[in-house]
Each structure stands twice: as structure tokens, then as C-alpha cells.
């Protein structure tokens, strides 16, 4: 009997192993076969100097003082007009709100739906006390060691000027688009986009505009970041997570520390916050994350290919590994971040109030209402008052991968970065593009920056920079993208 059981178990293991092997072997590549294109002939050094010249304008946006840096935006606008004269002579320019820019490149065929390229002019400030950690002066735009340095090179003047470089080149060659192309450059993306991108979307909607597709900043060409993948991964964001901050307040009677009450404001808030951190919202390899790993699996090697090709069997193990990394964990669930805690101002006084802020990045499929319900249940303290941040926003809709827009962008990425694997992805941060869902069902997020893992901290961080070689690739990407809009995608 024992021998028989052993034989049955062995047969089951062999059959399972065979099924895994067959599934791994038969999972086909999803990479699009494209026609190679010649490398764009541009003066990369001259283009780098133009980007360098845009960095010293300190177009830092502010939530509380929206007009505080208007003079810097005016200088940037004048600079762009000077450096891109063909663009400014051929496209209609409108300033929306305070300093947001809307350019219209009129197409020759009114029957074709227009498209939009997006970027933003504003930047985040330099974190106080970190200035000396920079290798160059943060707003110098210095060109050094083959890089353009300074705040805004990555986020997001690099995108904006690369788009303008591409349009300037195309106009110089006599190119005229069949469909209208909008160039949208908000002035407050870093502080919600409610004064720039949203009014532009509302304006276009009032004019009856429906965009075929939109491309904004977003995911990157990641080199050596994804384990098991020997090639760079160019990820095109189909959606972005929602934003939900809740402010918590717990009031008790203040008292002297020599006679502490059994339950205190700090103790009650600390217990509630510990509960939140310990009981995250559920995660799973599904939706956009499922599409991404399904696309990457056939391109991987070794055990990573086996595991990702057989999620029907390996999902719990794979999810457990993904949850260990903050970046991959963020793709699987609505994340919980304890960002602010305040209580007390004297060491011998028990404070009567404890305050905290909790920030959730909301996965498509969850909602602000479901997050708040989770928050209240997990806090498990009716005495804690909860106030939602007025700027909270739902997750964006998930854009399709079978649309003209996605296929055009995918084709262009494959042509501009032929060494890269292309896959859909989820944007875990917020961009101006979320406002474009008012006027388009196909909104995508991709920035043609080549990034290694050690470079990711440069976004909003120290020593922000882009290589001159990569900047030339970026210009080539936008140039080819605009050419590809003229023909049906492959």
C-alpha cells in the first residue's frame, strides 16, 4: 500500500513538472516585430545646451502660493519661444490659467481624431540641507561628464524640450500632420495639476475635442532593475494609482506625566497606526500587474521564467517575493504609508491631542470609499476623528492595450529602443495625465529615460541628471512617434 501511494505521488509530481515545463516552453513572446528605423541625425550637443539653458529658470510650483514664481515661468516661456522659433511660428500657443501652455498643431484631415503629448514645466524644490550633496549647483544646468545636470532634467523639462526638439525638426523638414497634435505643458503638476492640466482638459472638452490617445510622462526604460531579465524593460503605463490622504485626530484629557491615565492620546493613536501598518489592504497579481508579468515572462530566463509563466501554480510564492520589494509590492495592492505624526510639546505633560496623516496610493479596482472603509475598520477606535484631504482622487481608468494609441507607442518604443522588451505597467505616482480621462479613453504614461536602479532616486532627489546620449534617444523617440501617427500601427 505504501509503495502504491509513493508511486501515485511520484507520478503526480512528474505530471505536474511536465505541465510546468510545457506551459513555460509554449508561452509565446508578445513582443511586437517592427521595421527598424535609422538613427535620427541630430546635433546632440546643441540640443543638450538648449535643455541646459532651461534648467536655471526656477519654475518651482507651490500649493499655497500659486503666483509666487510667475516671473520664472515667464522667463521659461520667452526662452522656449527663442530656442524653438519654427514651433512657435507654426503652432497656436495659448496660456491657460496662470502659466500652463497649450499648443495646437493643426492637422490637415479633420476626420482624424487628434492626439496629445504632455509634459510639465514645474519642478519640486531642492530638499533643505541637501544642496551640498549635489555634484553641481542644482539649478545650474551644467553639462559635465556627458550629462546635463540639475533639477528638472528628469522631471520634467527633459520631456518637454525633447518634444519641442522633435517638432522643430519635423517642421524644418516640411512635415505637416494629418491629425491635429496638441502639446500640453502644465505649470502645477507637482501640486495636483488642478490649476493647469485640468483646466486645459475642460477647455478642450468645451470645444468638443475627443483625443484618440494621450502620452504623458511615466514609466521608464529600466536597465538591470528587473531580476531574471537580461534586456532593459520599457514599461508603458496603462493607468495610475489614486491618491488618498486621511488626517486623524484623537483627543483626550491632558494631564501631568506623574499620574498618567491608563489610555493616552499617544498610546491610542500609536496602537491604531500600528494596526494600519500591520494590516495592509489585500494584494494580488492581477489587472495591470498581471498583464505586465505575463508579457515579461517569456523574455526572462531560468527560474524567473518558470515561475512567472506558471502563475496558476506559483502565484502565492511569486507574490510573497514581490511583496518584499517596496516598488513591486506597490503594483499589487493599495499601499498604506504613515507620513505624519504629531503629539506633545513637553516631556512631563501628557498631551490632550495626537494627530497623524496616512497616505494611500489606491490600486485600480479599489476606490476612495473602500479605502476609507478599510481605514475605519482597521483603526478600531471610534474616538479617532477622520478627515479626508480635499485633493484625494480615484485611480485612473485602465487604458486598453489593443488601441491605436498603445500600438503606436509600443511600435515606437521598439524602434527607438530596439534592445528593450516592451510591456504594459502601472504608474504608482500621480501625473497630469489623469485629468485627460475627461477627453480620452486611451491615456498612457511613458518617459523615454534609460534608468538603472541606482538612478531612480534622482527623481525628486539629489544629483538629478540625464545623459546627452539618452537625451538624443528621447528626441528620436518623440520624432518617430509623430511620424508613426501618420500610418496605422503594425
The C-alpha atoms of residue 303 and residue 137 are separated, in whole angstroms, by 45
* Catalytic hit among 155, 168, 187, 189: 189
Is 41 marked active-site?
A: no
Name, in order, each residue with C-beta under 8 angstroms of 278's C-beta and a sequence gap of 6 or more.
none
Residue given cell 551640498 in the structure block: 132
Beta partners for residue 17, in sequence order: none
The alpha carbon torsion through 366, 367, 373, 375 (nearest 10 deg) reads 80
CA distance 488 to 408: 8
CA 208 to each of CA 158, 214, 311: distance values in angstroms, whole numbers, following the listed order = 31, 16, 44
3-class DSSP state for residue 348?
A: coil
Give the whole-angstrom CA distance, residue 300 versus residue 418: 17
Q: Distance between CA 252 and CA 121 in Å, rounded?
A: 46
In the residue annotation, 277 being an active-site residue is answered as no
Residue that has been written with the C-alpha cell 484629557 in this structure: 253
Does residue 337 contact residue 358 with C-beta atoms inside 8 Å?
yes
Alpha-carbon gap, residue 183 to 177, rounded angstroms = 13
Residues 6+ apart with CB under 8 A from 375: 246, 276, 358, 360, 386
Nearest to 221, CA basis, from 415, 456, 449: 449
Cα–Cα distance for residue pair 453/294, rounded to 1 Å: 22
- Give the CA dihedral 90, 95, 101, 103, nearest 10 degrees: -20
| β-pair type (443-451, 213-222) | parallel
**Residue 186 to residue 6: CA distance in whole angstroms:** 67
Q: Which helix (H) or strand (E) holds 143?
A: strand 143-144
DSSP per-residue letters across 344-378: -SSTTEE-SEEEEEEEEEEPBTB-HHHHHHHHHHH
Q: 17: Cβ–Cβ under 8 A, 6 or more apart, which residues?
A: none
Measuring CA to CA, which residue among 65, 60, 161, 38 is closest to residue 483? 38
Q: Which residues are catalytic?
A: 122, 189
Amino acid at each position: 500500500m505504501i509503495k502504491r501511494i509513493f508511486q501515485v505521488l511520484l507520478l503526480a509530481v512528474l505530471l505536474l513538472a511536465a505541465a510546468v515545463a510545457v506551459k513555460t516552453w509554449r508561452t509565446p513572446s508578445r513582443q511586437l516585430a517592427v521595421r527598424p528605423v535609422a538613427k535620427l541625425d541630430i546635433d546632440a550637443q546643441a540640443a543638450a545646451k538648449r535643455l541646459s539653458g532651461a534648467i536655471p529658470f526656477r519654475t518651482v510650483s507651490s500649493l499655497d502660493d500659486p503666483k509666487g514664481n510667475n516671473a520664472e515661468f515667464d522667463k521659461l516661456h520667452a526662452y522656449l519661444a527663442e530656442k524653438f522659433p519654427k514651433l512657435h511660428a507654426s503652432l497656436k500657443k495659448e496660456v491657460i490659467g496662470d502659466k500652463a501652455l497649450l499648443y495646437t498643431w493643426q492637422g490637415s484631415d479633420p476626420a482624424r481624431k487628434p492626439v496629445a503629448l504632455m509634459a510639465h514645466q514645474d519642478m519640486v524644490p531642492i530638499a533643505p540641507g541637501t544642496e551640498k550633496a549635489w555634484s553641481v549647483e542644482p539649478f545650474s544646468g551644467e553639462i559635465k561628464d556627458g550629462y546635463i545636470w540639475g533639477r528638472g532634467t528628469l522631471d520634467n523639462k527633459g520631456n518637454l524640450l525633447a518634444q519641442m526638439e522633435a517638432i522643430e525638426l519635423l517642421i524644418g523638414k516640411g512635415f505637416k500632420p494629418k491629425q491635429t497634435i496638441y502639446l500640453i505643458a502644465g505649470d502645477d503638476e507637482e501640486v495636483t495639476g488642478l490649476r493647469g492640466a485640468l483646466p486645459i482638459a475642460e477647455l478642450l472638452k468645451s470645444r468638443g475635442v475627443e483625443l484618440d490617445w494621450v502620452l504623458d510622462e511615466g514609466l521608464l526604460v529600466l536597465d538591470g532593475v528587473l531580476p531574471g531579465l537580461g534586456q532593459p524593460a520599457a514599461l508603458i503605463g496603462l493607468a495610475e494609482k489614486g491618491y488618498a490622504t486621511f488626517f486623524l485626530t484623537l483627543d483626550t484629557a491632558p494631564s501631568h506625566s506623574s499620574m498618567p491615565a491608563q489610555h493616552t492620546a499617544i498610546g491610542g493613536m500609536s496602537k491604531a497606526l500600528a494596526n494600519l501598518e500591520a494590516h495592509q489592504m489585500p494584494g494580488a497579481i492581477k489587472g495591470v500587474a498581471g498583464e505586465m508579468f505575463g508579457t515579461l515572462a517569456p523574455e526572462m530566463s531560468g527560474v524567473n521564467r518558470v515561475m512567472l509563466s506558471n502563475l496558476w501554480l506559483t502565484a502565492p510564492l511569486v507574490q510573497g517575493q514581490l511583496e518584499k520589494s517596496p516598488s513591486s509590492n506597490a503594483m499589487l495592492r493599495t499601499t498604506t504609508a504613515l507620513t505624519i505624526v504629531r503629539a506633545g510639546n513637553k516631556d512631563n505633560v501628557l498631551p490632550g491631542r495626537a494627530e497623524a496623516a496616512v497616505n494611500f496610493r489606491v490600486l485600480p479596482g479599489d476606490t476612495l470609499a473602500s479605502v476609507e472603509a478599510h481605514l475605519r475598520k482597521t483603526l478600531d477606535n471610534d474616538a479617532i476623528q477622520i478627515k479626508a484631504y480635499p485633493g484625494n482622487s480615484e485611480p485612473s481608468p485602465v487604458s486598453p492595450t489593443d488601441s491605436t494609441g498603445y500600438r503606436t507607442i509600443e511600435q515606437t518604443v521598439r524602434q527607438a529602443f530596439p534592445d528593450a522588451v516592451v510591456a504594459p505597467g502601472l504608474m504608482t505616482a500621480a501625473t497630469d495625465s489623469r485629468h485627460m480621462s475627461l477627453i480620452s479613453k486611451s491615456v498612457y504614461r511613458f518617459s523615454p529615460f534609460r534608468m538603472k536602479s541606482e538612478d531612480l532616486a534622482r527623481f525628486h532627489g539629489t544629483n538629478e541628471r540625464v545623459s546627452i546620449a539618452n537625451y538624443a534617444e528621447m528626441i528620436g523617440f518623440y520624432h518617430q512617434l509623430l511620424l508613426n501617427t501618420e500610418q496605422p500601427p503594425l
